[in-house]
Amino acid sequence: MATQTSTYSVFSPGSYSRFTYIERHTDDVNRILNALWRPGYLISVVGPTKMGKTVLLNTAVADAYYIEGAWIDKLSDLWSRLASQLEIPTNEAGTRTTENSSSWGLSAKLKALFADAAVEVSGSQTKALARGWSKDVPADQAVSAAFGILADSDTNPVIIIDDFHFIPPSVRADVVAALKGICARGATCVLVTLPHHRNEAVSQVQDMIGRSTTVHMREWSIDDLIAIGRAGFESLNLVDDGESIATLLASESYGSPQLMQYLCSMLVADVNAQYHKSEEPYELDHPADWDDFFRSAVEPRSVEWLQKFIAGPAVRGRDRTLYRLTDSRSLDGYKLIFEGLKQQGPELETSYNSLKASILALLDDNTLDNFNRIQLSTKLNHITRIASTSLSALHELDQENEELPSDKNPPQGPSSNFQPLFEYIPDRGGEIHILEPYLAYALKWGSDHLLEEE
C-alpha cells in the first residue's frame, strides 16, 4: 500500500520539504546564486535566522563541503573537517595526514604535491594511478592542494561555513585567512552569518577586496510566503478559497519561511484535523477566532526569553522607576522598551531613534528629561548581554541569586554556541535587531501578560 503523504512532511519547519520548496528570483537570491559560480570568491550571506539561507545554499550546491561554525574551536578543526570530507585521514590534532596516500579516497587530488603522480580526474570521483607517497603531509597543505585540483578539473568546489558567528572571535580571522588561501586555489567559499557580523569576515583580511561580496538575504515577501501555503495545501488536496488563509498566515510570519511552515502545519492539523493527504478535495476551515489561533502558536521558549529580557538584570536593594503611560499603565524601563518595540509591529530591524520616538509616544510625560531618565542605551546594552547568555546559564544565575557579569563585552566563544535573539549596536547608528522571527511573533501575540502594569 502506498504511503500517505503526511501533513508534517509537507509543512516541515526547519528542514527541506520537496512539497513546499519555493524557488525565488529576488535580487538578493539571484546575487547569491550568481556569486556561487565565481571561482576564487569569498561570499558573506547575511540575514536573520530562519530566513532559508542554509536551505537555499544546500539546494543550490548539493555537493558543497559543509561545516557548522559551532564545530570550529581552533583553526585545525577547519582543516580536519575539510580533510574528512575529502577522505584524507589526519592525526588526532588534525594537523598532519596519516596513512600512505595510496589509501586516501581522493589522493589523486594532491598531485600538486607529488609531481610524479599519474592521475585520472573525473568529476568528484578522481582515482589515483600512483601509490607510495609519503604519509607525513601537513593537513592544510593537503587540503589546499586538493581544492586546487578540484578547481582545475572544472568541478567548481564550494565550501560553506554556516553560522560563522559561532566560531570564537579569536579564531575567525585565522579561518578567513585560511579560506583566502583556498579561494586563491580556485574554490568558492561562503560564510553564513547574522546581519551585525556582515562586514566582519572581509574586514579581517583586507586583501580580499575585489574577490569578496556580501549579500543581505532579506525577509521573504508576502507573495513568496503565500506560495508556500499554496504549494502545501495543493499537495495535501486541501482547498484554500481565495487564498484567504495563506494570506493571513503569511502576514504573521515575519518574512520567515520556517514560521510560515509552522503556522500552516498548525492550521491544517490542529484546526482542521487533517494529518495526511485528503482523498477528496477538502475545503479548509478558518479558526473560530484568529487571535486565539495566533496566540496558541506562540513558541514557549520565545516567551521564556521575553521574560528574561523584560526582567532585565538583577537589581538589589532598590525598586525600579516606573513611568506612566497615556493608557494609564505604569511600566518600568525594560517593560517600556518592549512595549515600544511591540508598538512598532514589532519589526525585525529598527533603530535607537525609532524606538525613542515610539517610547515618547507612549509616555504620559513625554518630555526629554523624563525620557532621559530611562537610560535607553544602557538598558539596550543590558538586554544584549542577556541575549548573549544561554537560557541554562541564566537559570543557574537565578537559582544562585547571582547577577550577570558586568563586563563591557558579551561572552563569546565555544561556551556561547547558540543563536542570539536580540542585538543592539550603538556604533552603527544605534541598530536594533530582533534576530529570531519567533521572538518577534511572541512579542506580538504572547506578551500581554508580561507587559501588565506593575
* Predicted pLDDT of residue 201: 54
Distance CA 142, CA 181 (A): 12
Question: Beta strand 65-68 with 158-162: parallel, antiparallel or unpaired?
Answer: parallel
Cis peptide bond prior to 346, omega within 30° of 0: yes
Predicted confidence (pLDDT) at residue 281 exceeds the cutoff of 90: yes
Q: What CA–CA distances, in Å, run from 317 to 314, 320, 332?
A: 10, 10, 16
Question: Tens of pLDDT along 385-411?
Answer: 998 887 665 555 454 445 555 444 444
* Predicted pLDDT of residue 271: 96
Q: Quick one: which of 269, 250, 270, 267 has its CA closest to 258?
A: 250
* Predicted pLDDT of residue 310: 94
Positive or negative: CA dihedral 387, 357, 443, 274: negative
Question: Tens of pLDDT along 179-212?
Answer: 988 998 889 999 988 776 655 655 655 566 677 8
Percent of the chain clearing pLDDT 90 (strictly above): 42
Place of cell 484535523: 273
Count CA atoms within 13 Å of residue 166 on its CB side: 15
User: Structural domain boundaries of the chain?
Assistant: 27-216, 223-296, 300-451
Average pLDDT of 225-238? Answer: 96
Question: Tens of pLDDT along 318-347?
Answer: 778 899 999 999 999 999 999 999 999 999
- Taking all residues of the chain, what is their mean pLDDT, rounded to a whole number? 81
Question: Tens of pLDDT along 349-387?
Answer: 999 999 999 999 999 988 888 888 899 999 999 999 998
CATH class, range 27-216 = alpha beta
Predicted confidence (pLDDT) at residue 303 exceeds the cutoff of 90: yes
Say if residues 220 and 255 touch (Cβ distance below 8 Å): yes
Percent of the chain clearing pLDDT 70 (strictly above): 78
> What's the predicted TM-score (pTM) here?
0.79
Say if residues 259 and 9 touch (Cβ distance below 8 Å): no
DSSP characters over 127-165: EE------S--BHHHHHHHHHHHHHHTT---EEEEETGG
Window from 11-20, 294-303, 434-443 with minimum mean pLDDT: 11-20
Predicted confidence (pLDDT) at residue 114 exceeds the cutoff of 60: no
Distance CA 440, CA 434 (A): 7
* Predicted pLDDT of residue 413: 34
Using the 8-state DSSP alphabet, how is residue 268 labeled?
I
Average pLDDT of 245-265? Answer: 96
* Predicted pLDDT of residue 89: 65
